[in-house]
Structure 1
Amino acid sequence: MRGTRWDIQGLRALAVGAVVMDHAGVPGVGGGYVGVDIFFVVSGFLITGQLARRLGDTGRVGFADFYARRARRILPASLAVLVLTALGVLLCVPPTLRSRAMTDAAAVAVYAPNYVFAARGTDYLANTTPSVFQHYWSLGVEEQFYLLWPALLGVSWFVLRRRRGAVAGVLGVLAAASFAAGLVLTRTNQPWAFFALWPRAWELAAGGLLALAAPAVARLLPPWVARLLGWAGLAGIVAACTLFTADTVFPGAAALLPVMSAAAVIAAGGVSVRGSVGALLSLKPLVFLGTISYSLYLVHWPLEQLPQAAVGYENPLPLSVKVALALLAVPLAWLMYRLLENPVRHARVLAEAGPRRSLLAALGGSGVLAAASAIAIIMTANPPLHTGRAVADQTPTAPVKATGFVPKNLKPSLAAAPNDNPSLYADGCELDFSTSRPKPCSFGPDDAPTVVLWGDSAAAQWAPGLQQAVVSSGDRLVTQTKSGCASTLITHVRDGGPYPSCDAWRKKVLEQLNADPPAVIVLADYANEELPKGRDAEKTWADGLADTISRLPAQSRVLLLADSPDFGTSPIECLSQHVDDADACARSAAKALSSPGRVAAYRAAASTRADIVDLTQYFCADTCPAIVGDTLVYRDSHHLTASYASKLSAPLKTKLAPYLP
């Protein structure tokens, strides 16, 4: 082993550069998020190497000293950015998101933000309103890992009598179990696979196992093999950064590429050889970026996200602005490294004192910030979200008439809107992602002619109005809905991967419909549903709809209910920033109605026996407003509030009248 590993600093530079460019939206770096995986491997290698050397010298881990050094290394910059970002939240983040952001801040202060994001179901790779503290998830994983890893290493070292190979074998089994957990969770619950410790621990453990094997690697690896291994590792990192995208099923098996590639670069760098990748990674610009990589990682995300929050998530910052912010993060990170991170790390008052002082300072600082965040949660929980003016209750009209401000009698309120769901959710009639057995729910007389509503959550959103329309006509409504699973017979994906419960559910629903044909079948689906990469979306949708219609019972009338507009981002946050100017939160009809599934529905209707039911005039004219009368139209970017769906019962009854028995 050499002394200073400048190549590892260069590897850190690649990692942080990939993350920053990905977050800035730089074209061609769609997989830059794997930079975090590279950091995990580097961290596991360096920290385990330090622990192994101490165990070899003294036979002890020295827990207090280890955690004191860790606290001095990690916390000063982390807590400083936490404080500054929290202040930025109060100035820039929409009022409806501030309490959530302060919850995230409290979680950061107690080293558990990753579990908050996992429990919330956060999609790291496709989140239109990400938390300004979201980047702290990786620090949470690391700190939780290092609460356990030193103890596992120390116990294994003692029990196995300092035999590195045996210790590595035991810890390797645990790493394999972690990898297996990641494979399973990526398929079944991607947010937990992405954010939780146990499916991610193997990445840090991979670096740790490499550290245990480092003496043998340096002794036994031939120079020419080391040279090839290093360059192959660099090629793997570049491939992951450039070929992976937000659609890649991740972490899962895909994480093997950046993790193993980083391990290959580190292993090759432990062998002194001419022409190695280490020479490239040891160039001064890369070493500089690697040196400030921790501060740069902390600074860049809020620097990107706070301005975006301030201008509104509905107005994405131009690429040039995002790149400029990413570049600005470099000198800011250097200043923080020079003035805070490094000075505190080596401060005599802490470094030369016993570990107790550093640990007490760390716990005290974290405790104060956790308490302050808790107070901020309460203070930001009920912001003023209306103008104080009321409007009269109105029935939706065609063409639609917008309300240009947020009335005080808005139904539902902006705060309550995300939970203004149809009763199908509370009753268990809207199936979750894992359920494959149909659960038809019935409304109206059992002996009346039946109308079946079939589709995904975009079908469920119509249920409040459709139920009133159908039942008041003397008929019975039966719902068959499942989240993220359209009635359209297309190859569905979820989080970039297969969605087997959807295929099984649709097959069973079709069997039930053909076994007991209803009078009318209404198909309603989200028109921007996730499709496999490389498909012509419009053609795929049209062909899938035609396939569905051909398999429905011949004696049933078939209607295609056109999807509601898609805003792209929720208008709720925009409205909370523009209570006096709700028109600022409207979307142009051209954009909101451009979903491939909408066009495909008309194509399918023209070539099959199905008819279209389209209520677009009750949503859009030249623009699509967010508030109509005293009612908020949307509970998120494209789902209707149950309140507005209920008000569409009369238009739905009129549209359906020619088709009902």
Structure 2
Amino acid sequence: MQKNSLRLEQLTSLRFFAALAIVFHHLAGQMGVGAASVNLGQGVSFFFVLSGFILAYVYPHLPDRKAIAGFWRARVARIWPAHVASFLLGWWLLGYKIEPATAIAYLALVQAWVPSWNFYFSYNAVAWSISTEFFFYLCFPFLLHRWSTTWRVKLGGAALLLLVLLWACSALALPALVSSSGDAFQPSQHGLIYINPLSRVLEFIVGMAVAQLFRNKRYVVGMSLGTALEIGGLVLCILNIYGSRYAVEVVASMVPDAPVIQWLVHSSSLFSFAALIYVMAHGRGRVSALLQFRPLVLLGEISFSMYLVHQILISYYASNKGRFVRVDEHLDLLVFFGVLVLLSYLMWRCVEIPARAVLTGSLGRVKVDLKRSLGPAFAALLLCITLATVLTRSGGADFISEREAALMTPASMASQTGSVFGNRFELRGLDVRCLADGIELDLAWRSRIDQPYVYTNAIHLIDASGAIVAQQDYGQPTGAPAKMGQMWKEHVSLPASKLRPSMTSIALAVYRGTDLLAIDKGNTDWGGRRLIIPLPECQPRHS
């Protein structure tokens, strides 16, 4: 198998910045991060174009079946170990509800091939793009065959395929997005145009075409002109991303549910990304020289793991806000990125590299110096965990007044308040909000006696029969014991990954060990030990 061994480290560093954009895209509304005015999630499109470029550059030829099998083996070794490791991390932190069909599709990396939300956003939702990438890997040897003479046909074919899918969405009147509380197995424009690999393969093939251009037509310029070209490439990408926003507004004003909107939002910057990759690959300017700085290259190396674990950490934070004291949100953000980078480094060093070596049969060539590489990382991770514990979990409850509890409760929820749990806790305020990223609950409690915070609140998502579809338990605030009459507020987030079409209500219980506190009034089940709260209709998130 002929490979090009020349490393383009500036492109490796660019992967980190694309991953960082996606992290901020998913951080919107958390830890003081506001929503961006543009779709930072277009970083995924950059990954697809870059992947096509790198593979076509590194593997200019796959001459026989042995070479093709070796390529596929190397690609699986590249993505599957971290994919499984992140799944296990999410299962541990978020308590995934495992369903055989979606779990098999997810672990087999084919979940994005099924254009229904229950599949492509199952478990760690961002992994849909890894499934799409896996499809590209399977297609690559066939795309590469006689590439120099057929690339125009293949590029045109991919563009035609995208047009056919856009037409199919219109002809079938597919909804733009399917509600998680509706038939989440129904195909949608979102699933076919944004997620499905058939609609995204154009970006990958464009990357392959840029690699051929780079091999055949390189330019030689001085540092000043090279720098200007690199800055120009970055500016072009920024303008394209901003321009796509206005293009969406224009199209939506004429045809609100036009399928092309999905493409404009998520993929319309692909040619600007291609131009940037072409310019940066030359390495002729100061920007590319800066990107070859070793720490940035290392961040690029760990960006795959960073991409896979970031939303798990965000969801864990959002799901456990009720247990976190309100400190400066910028400090929360700093601790989050410290943990994210170090955890990503450890996954890269301890999972990606050794697993890849085992699966490709090159374990004997891997040099591992645990003392030098893992020692400092474990120490730094321990430091960040300690800081997170001291700074975010050492405080007490978020105390509020009776008036604040009343103001936070919408009129539609007022009838659900006033229930007393075990003559210990009274529910004084309640707000249930359906957001793009899931469901958020605000609960206001009043302590009826002097007591320590030793109970656990159970949040159940239930179907019409009362069966638990998903569950989110969290402990009461830490700190000094509650005084009689004190009131505090708890915030709970249920990420979209926990939502299921069959759920109809939220059930709330308070327990310690096996002791469920009895509830004095309200719509209850379980012998009066679980309060039933109507559930608003929710939409699945974008990833």
> Equivalent of 1:16, from 19, 30, 41?
19
Structure 2 vs 1, CA of residues 250 and 40 (structure 1 numbering), >3 Å: closer, same or farther? farther
Paired letter, 1:191: H
Structure 2 vs 1, CA of residues 242 and 70 (structure 1 numbering), >3 Å: closer, same or farther? same
Structure 2 vs 1, CA of residues 106 and 236 (structure 1 numbering), >3 Å: closer, same or farther? farther
Task: Give the match's secondary structure for 2:269.
Answer: helix
The 2-side partners of 1:256 and 1:263 are apart by 12
The 2-side partners of 1:264 and 1:2 are apart by 23
Structure 2 vs 1, CA of residues 412 and 254 (structure 1 numbering), >3 Å: closer, same or farther? closer
Is residue 2:73 matched to residue 1:68? Answer: yes
Paired letter, 2:201: A
Please tell me whether the aligned partners of residues 49 and 207 of structure 2 are also in contact (alpha carbons under 8 angstroms).
yes
Structure 2 vs 1, CA of residues 219 and 245 (structure 1 numbering), >3 Å: closer, same or farther? closer
> Equivalent of 1:258, from 246, 265, 269?
269
Structure 2 vs 1, CA of residues 19 and 268 (structure 1 numbering), >3 Å: closer, same or farther? same
Partner of 2:9 in structure 1?
Answer: 6
The 2-side partners of 1:225 and 1:344 are apart by 43
Task: Give the match's secondary structure for 1:578.
Answer: strand
The 2-side partners of 1:312 and 1:637 are apart by 23
Structure 2 vs 1, CA of residues 213 and 150 (structure 1 numbering), >3 Å: closer, same or farther? same
> Equivalent of 1:578, from 499, 509, 524?
509
The 2-side partners of 1:351 and 1:11 are apart by 27
> Equivalent of 1:81, from 83, 86, 90?
86
> Equivalent of 2:155, from 172, 176, 183?
172
Cα distance, 1:245 vs structure 2: 7.5
Partner of 2:55 in structure 1?
Answer: 47
State the Cα deviation string for residues 505-525 of structure 1 (Å, max 9, x = none). xxxxxxxxxxxxxxxxxxxxx
The 2-side partners of 1:183 and 1:236 are apart by 26
Please tell me whether the aligned partners of residues 627 and 633 of structure 1 are also in contact (alpha carbons under 8 angstroms).
no
Please tell me whether the aligned partners of residues 507 and 533 of structure 2 are also in contact (alpha carbons under 8 angstroms).
no
The 2-side partners of 1:346 and 1:568 are apart by 39
The 1-side partners of 2:189 and 2:105 are apart by 20
Structure 2 vs 1, CA of residues 148 and 221 (structure 1 numbering), >3 Å: closer, same or farther? farther
State the Cα deviation string for residues 423-442 of structure 1 (Å, max 9, x = none). xxxxxxxxxxxxxxxxxxxx
Task: Give the match's secondary structure for 2:129.
Answer: helix
Structure 2 vs 1, CA of residues 80 and 573 (structure 1 numbering), >3 Å: closer, same or farther? farther
Paired letter, 1:201: V
Partner of 1:380 in structure 2?
Answer: none
Please tell me whether the aligned partners of residues 568 and 637 of structure 1 are also in contact (alpha carbons under 8 angstroms).
no
The 2-side partners of 1:311 and 1:215 are apart by 51
Please tell me whether the aligned partners of residues 194 and 266 of structure 2 are also in contact (alpha carbons under 8 angstroms).
no
Point out where structure 1 has 5 or more consecutive residues left out of the alignment: 125-129, 354-396, 419-566, 582-625, 640-661
> Equivalent of 1:134, from 100, 118, 125?
125
Cα distance, 1:131 vs structure 2: 5.2
Partner of 1:471 in structure 2?
Answer: none
Cα distance, 1:47 vs structure 2: 1.2
Point out where structure 2 has 5 or more consecutive residues left out of the alignment: 175-187, 250-259, 365-411, 422-457, 471-491, 513-520, 526-530
How large is the RMSD of aligned CA atoms in angstroms? 4.6
The 1-side partners of 2:360 and 2:414 are apart by 71
Task: Give the match's secondary structure for 2:464.
Answer: coil
Percent of pairs with identical residues: 23
Cα distance, 1:67 vs structure 2: 1.1
How many residue pairs get aligned? The number is: 376
Please tell me whether the aligned partners of residues 400 and 628 of structure 1 are also in contact (alpha carbons under 8 angstroms).
no
Please tell me whether the aligned partners of residues 113 and 196 of structure 2 are also in contact (alpha carbons under 8 angstroms).
yes
The 2-side partners of 1:322 and 1:245 are apart by 27
Partner of 1:149 in structure 2?
Answer: 140
Paired letter, 2:282: V
Please tell me whether the aligned partners of residues 79 and 109 of structure 1 are also in contact (alpha carbons under 8 angstroms).
yes
The 1-side partners of 2:94 and 2:157 are apart by 40
The 1-side partners of 2:416 and 2:312 are apart by 38
Paired residues for 1:298-377 under 5 Å: 298-311=308-321, 320=330, 321=332, 324-347=335-358, 350-351=361-362
Structure 2 vs 1, CA of residues 244 and 32 (structure 1 numbering), >3 Å: closer, same or farther? farther
Task: Give the match's secondary structure for 1:135.
Answer: helix
Cα distance, 1:107 vs structure 2: 2.5
Cα distance, 1:114 vs structure 2: 1.9
Task: Give the match's secondary structure for 1:334.
Answer: helix
Please tell me whether the aligned partners of residues 178 and 200 of structure 1 are also in contact (alpha carbons under 8 angstroms).
no
The 2-side partners of 1:283 and 1:574 are apart by 53
The 1-side partners of 2:416 and 2:285 are apart by 73
Task: Give the match's secondary structure for 2:109.
Answer: coil
Structure 2 vs 1, CA of residues 61 and 213 (structure 1 numbering), >3 Å: closer, same or farther? farther
Cα distance, 1:35 vs structure 2: 1.3
Is residue 2:116 matched to residue 1:119? Answer: yes
Cα distance, 1:292 vs structure 2: 0.9
Paired letter, 1:271: H
Task: Give the match's secondary structure for 2:284.
Answer: coil
Q: TM-score, normalised by structure 2?
A: 0.57
Paired letter, 2:142: A
Task: Give the match's secondary structure for 1:114.
Answer: helix
Cα distance, 1:285 vs structure 2: 3.5
Partner of 1:413 in structure 2?
Answer: 465
> Equivalent of 1:282, from 292, 313, 331?
292
Cα distance, 1:33 vs structure 2: 1.0
Please tell me whether the aligned partners of residues 182 and 252 of structure 1 are also in contact (alpha carbons under 8 angstroms).
no
Task: Give the match's secondary structure for 1:346.
Answer: helix
Partner of 2:106 in structure 1?
Answer: 108
Deviates more, 1:255-264 or 1:286-295: 255-264
Structure 2 vs 1, CA of residues 401 and 254 (structure 1 numbering), >3 Å: closer, same or farther? closer
Deviates more, 1:32-41 or 1:265-274: 265-274
Partner of 2:190 in structure 1?
Answer: 191
Cα distance, 1:293 vs structure 2: 0.8
Cα distance, 1:227 vs structure 2: 5.1
Partner of 2:280 in structure 1?
Answer: 269
Q: TM-score, normalised by structure 1?
A: 0.48
Task: Give the match's secondary structure for 2:75.
Answer: helix
Cα distance, 1:294 vs structure 2: 0.8
State the Cα deviation string for residues 278-318 of structure 1 (Å, max 9, x = none). 224323342221111111111212111133234589x9999
